[in-house]
Amino acid sequence: MAQANLSPAVPKPDHVPASLVYDFDMFADPGMIENAHNRALEIVKEAPPVFWTPRNDGHWVIAGHNAVFNMSRDTERFSNAMVSYEQIHAMIASMPEGAPKPLIPAPITYDPPHHAVYRGPLQKAFSPKAMTALKDSIRELAVALIEAVKPKGECAFVDAIAEPLPVTIFLRMFGLPVERQREYRDLVKEHFEDTDSDPSHVQARLKKVTDIMHDTIMERKENPTDDLISLLWQSEFNGEKATLWDIQNYCVVLFAAGLDTVVNGMSLGAVHLATNPQLQAELRADPDKIPAAAEEILRRYTFTLPPRFVSADTEFEGVQMKHGEKAVLMLPAADLDPSEFDSPEEFNLAREGKAHIAFGTGPHRCLGSHLARFELNILYEEMMARLPEFRLDPDKPLTYHGGHVWGPDEVYLKWDN
């Protein structure tokens, strides 16, 4: 079925030993489309912790927990940028005055030391204190969305709850018009489904994101409010006032992160709860267990795969890598690695002492983790309090999307009122 969409396999380069080749198309692997995390468990069992796949032009996949941890923190040898800061800035300096500059997603594609300059302005905006102030509005919206579907005895969960909840909260925070939600979500989906990594194509894709927000960005420059875009306009970078280009560089990252991640986290959580009535009963009886359940769901169903680029020929975990090669940090596999988590496939509320890596690690660790955690916890609390035992609709089987952010395409839930 999904076989037809597999990208063509390219020959392995000479420095890659045959023992490290494992076939995994991160966008179209048929096993992943059928059940993303079962496929991740299979990869953990079958593939080396660092392997090379011939799909999508050939790249490394870092699947072992230790290897993911080490690469995430080794920013000297593994860059978040396809093209170095120095090269991009040399190119920009040589461009004619007024020519449109290439977009550089910030802060995520900056490496230290430049990274700190761009991460700085967002730290306070996403701090636990700032996010605590949103708790009431998150709960109010969660309650309204759940109550709207409750009498029906069923819902398409992504469409009815997992999408509108975090997306509305983020659009309000960002200062974008909530009524354009559908348009923004469609663009984000198009963005994540696009597998073409040609730099001019990537730039065209990013420009679509800045175009859709352009009017709001300019309006906030003239009339600042208390939203994130206004805050970014008031920031300074290396002693210089923020420019439109700086704001656009942030917008492309925040738009994608804010409009897609939590949607998938909630959907994966709903699938787990719907297929585990005993867990639902346990959480309804003792809601204090919900935070531990939310964390264990994040570990068991970790769902992002951030990229890295090899900065110079090097050896990593005994493997030869060449300058310019791409590596994908397979966080879902890292959190299912038995060398880090005992019986990783088991959902265990009493796991102690081992932190999951769902939000990444190292300097790029997720800035939105506090917001995401509040949203996930509040949603689970309200679902447990307001809905009777719910299950998956057996007539509507699940399918998953892969790529850099995994999740179910839709989750059809049913319950008996």
Contact between 248 and ligand HEM by CB under 6 A: the answer reads no
Cα atoms found within 13 Å of the Cα of residue 281, Cβ hemisphere only: 3
Question: Candidates 27-35, 61-69, 186-194, 365-373 — which segment interacts with ligand HEM by CB under 6 A?
Answer: 365-373
For the beta carbon of residue 343, count every other beta carbon within 10 angstroms: 9
Structure-block tokens of residue 214:
């352009």
Length of the chain: 417
Contact between 408 and ligand HEM by CB under 6 A: the answer reads no
Q: Which of 51, 157, 170, 184 binds ligand HEM (CB under 6 A)?
A: 170
Contact between 367 and ligand HEM by CB under 6 A: the answer reads yes
Q: Which of 66, 366, 410, 415 binds ligand HEM (CB under 6 A)?
A: 366
Number of residues that bind ligand HEM (CB under 6 A): 25
Q: Is 85 exposed, middle or buried (0-12, 13-18, 19+ CB in 10 A)?
A: middle
Which single residue brings its beta carbon nearest to ligand HEM? 368
Listed residue (229, 268, 267, 261) closest to 347, CA to CA: 268
Q: What are the residues facing 417 on neighbouring strands? A: none
Is 261 or 280 the residue whose CB approaches ligand HEM more closely? 261
Is 16 or 304 the residue whose CB approaches ligand HEM more closely? 304
3-state SS assignment for residue 34 = helix
Radius of gyration of the chain (CA): 21
Q: Which of 16, 50, 103, 108 binds ligand HEM (CB under 6 A)?
A: 108
**Residue 134 and residue 139: Cα distance in Å, rounded?**
9
Q: How far is the CB of 285 from ligand HEM (least distance, A)?
A: 26
DSSP codes of every residue in 312-380: SSEEETTEEE-TT-EEEE-HHHHTT-TTTSSSTTS--TT--S----TT--STT--TTHHHHHHHHHHHH
Q: Which of 79, 249, 261, 377 binds ligand HEM (CB under 6 A)?
A: 261
Q: Are 25 and 7 in contact (CB under 8 A)?
A: yes
Q: How far is the CB of 372 from ligand HEM (least distance, A)?
A: 4
Q: In Å, what is the CA distance from 175 to each residue of 105, 170, 178, 231, 259?
A: 19, 8, 9, 10, 13
Residues 54-83 that bind ligand HEM (CB under 6 A): 72, 80
Q: Which of 69, 359, 374, 406 binds ligand HEM (CB under 6 A)?
A: 359
Listed residue (253, 268, 241, 228) closest to 358, CA to CA: 268
Q: Are 145 and 165 in contact (CB under 8 A)?
A: yes
Is 26 or 367 the residue whose CB approaches ligand HEM more closely? 367
Q: How far is the CB of 232 from ligand HEM (least distance, A)?
A: 12
Q: How far is the CB of 264 from ligand HEM (least distance, A)?
A: 8
Q: How far is the CB of 170 from ligand HEM (least distance, A)?
A: 5
Q: Which of 368, 402, 407, 408 binds ligand HEM (CB under 6 A)?
A: 368
Listed residue (294, 299, 296, 302) closest to 332, CA to CA: 302
Is 138 or 392 the residue whose CB approaches ligand HEM more closely? 138
Question: Candidates 62-70, 211-219, 234-242, 363-371 — which segment interacts with ligand HEM by CB under 6 A?
Answer: 363-371
Q: Is the dihedral of CA 108, 114, 116, 120 positive or negative?
A: negative
Q: How far is the CB of 166 from ligand HEM (least distance, A)?
A: 7
Contact between 228 and ligand HEM by CB under 6 A: the answer reads no
Structure-block tokens of residue 220:
């906030």
Q: How far is the CB of 360 from ligand HEM (least distance, A)?
A: 3
Is 54 or 210 the residue whose CB approaches ligand HEM more closely? 210
Q: Which of 54, 121, 164, 258 binds ligand HEM (CB under 6 A)?
A: 258
Q: How far is the CB of 288 from ligand HEM (least distance, A)?
A: 21
Contact between 257 and ligand HEM by CB under 6 A: the answer reads yes
Which residues of this protein are in contact with ligand HEM, per CB under 6 A? 72, 80, 107-108, 119, 170, 253-254, 257-258, 261-262, 265, 304, 306, 331, 358-360, 364, 366-368, 371-372
